[in-house]
Structure 1
Amino acid sequence: MTAVSGVRRVVDWVRWYVREVSGESVYDRYVAHARAHDPEAKVMSRGEFERDRMDAREADPRKGFRCC
């Protein structure tokens, strides 16, 4: 393993980790799941998905604790 490939591997891992912790990858998983189960179905845009996700969190306090 060369130094460049080692650095690239670390950068890829950090990118993956940040996307997982921030929730960025959730939309990508939603799109992959929706297309795998019904390729003809309309897939929500990222904005629609995030609004729907936030509404679901706020409707059920167990899914995303918010104090205010």
Structure 2
Amino acid sequence: MAEVPIVVHPAIEQGGRAVVVRNEVAGLAHCDREVVEFLRRVGLPLSDDILDDPVWVEWRGGRAHDYEAA
């Protein structure tokens, strides 16, 4: 299986999730809007459903779109 270009890591204790784009840390996101902004900055094609597309995004630990620590 090919590696997905975007990985959203588990939420940290203070809230927020690290976002890695093409093996480079893009930043710490606290909402979907921030993830999309990181993707825009690196020039990835954006669509309304990119964050729910497993070809593009792997959500690790916790539920997708949840940015609070458990």
Give the TM-score taking structure 2 as reference length. Answer: 0.29
Richer in helix (by share):
1
Specify which structure has the bigger relative contact order, considering alpha-carbon pairs within 8 angstroms and separated by 6 or more residues: 2
Instruction: Give TM-score, length-normalised by structure 1.
Output: 0.29
> Which structure has the bigger radius of gyration?
1
